[in-house]
Amino acid sequence: MVVVVAIVGGRFGRGGVVAAARREIGSQMARQMVVAGFGCDTAAIVNILAHRDATQRALIQHEYRATYSEDLNKRLSSELGGDLKRAVLLWMHDPAGRDATIVRQALSGDVIDLKAATEVLCSRTPSQIQQLRQVYHALFGVYLEHDIEFQATGDHKKLLLAYVTTPRYEGPEVDRMAVEKDAKALFKAGEKRLGTDEKTFRSIFSERSRAHLAAVSAAYHSLYGNSLKKVLRKAMKGMGTDDTTLTRVIVTRAEIDMQYIKAEYHKKHRNSLNDAVHSETSSHFRTFLLSLGTNPPLKEMSGRNQRWEISSASVFPCL
């Protein structure tokens, strides 16, 4: 059976016929989750979920609950295990919920992982941070700032608190004079002195936009012939590492900038990220991460004269 939705003269999602078709698609996927994963083949679960975008995954969860009166994530949690379970459950969240879950686990788990919390918080835009804070409180009943205050210490705590509470500009424009001023301030606070003036670093990196900081990095190299990365390593040394970074990065960035990350990884390590995943993982977990890192999730089609086809024979291997 092939479900075909023809879209003529409008965007996907408008109209009762299209809405009904979407529900039918979601219901089919939900039914196949039962057939494919629960008593048949875990590989089919990986194949279905790894190739669905956030909107489609939410639709699958909604239709699964409506059809079977059961939470799909709880069922996945009971059926899967180990690294695969952790990766799939993270993938099933919407972006803000996923970030909130990662940060909460990092700040309240058996082992406090400030590196993971810092990675997530300091790689999000101001609007993403605000949404994360709202979802964090809604899900866990505590404020993000409270957990940071309780678990982090010293300058690291001050940096994280400043980063999640300070309003920042998100646009592309930069002030060249301000850029040069910040580059000189960072040099004075870092390489030019014994030790590091963390207050200056904290102020600049928590208050400036991404575009501004990128310009500061270029200006720093132009002025002093050195990479700002080395100065940052000095300021942030001792943060440690963890065994789940690979999963976290791939799952959180698969729908955002994975191709850029793969290119940068290859530039730094002289081998591909896919090779690293292949050597460090195994079985269905390896397949899941490779699917996220290699093939972007299928997107809903939009525009004029476009079709979205879902074949039960190819999308749901257990049929």
Residue of 181, 189, 193 whose CA lies nearest to 223: 181
Residue 311 has pLDDT above 50, yes or no: no
pLDDT value for 243: 44
For residue 71, the model assigns a pLDDT of 92
The DSSP secondary-structure symbol of 318 reads T
Cα distances (Å, whole numbers) of residue 223 to 124, 183, 197, 205: 28, 8, 19, 19
Mean pLDDT score, 60-79? 89
194 vs 214, which has greater pLDDT? 214
* DSSP structure class, residue 311: E
Burial of 157 (0-12, 13-18, 19+ CB in 10 A): middle
pTM: 0.70
| 160-204 pLDDT tens trace | 999 899 888 888 898 999 999 999 998 888 776 655 677 888 888
In order of their start, the domains of the chain are 2-92+294-315 (1.10.220.10), 176-236 (1.10.220.10)
Please write the tens of the pLDDT for every residue from 97-145: 999 999 999 999 888 889 889 989 988 989 999 999 999 999 999 999 9
Q: How far apart are CA 27 and CA 67, in angstroms?
A: 7
How are beta strands 2-7 and 306-311 bridged, if at all?
A: antiparallel
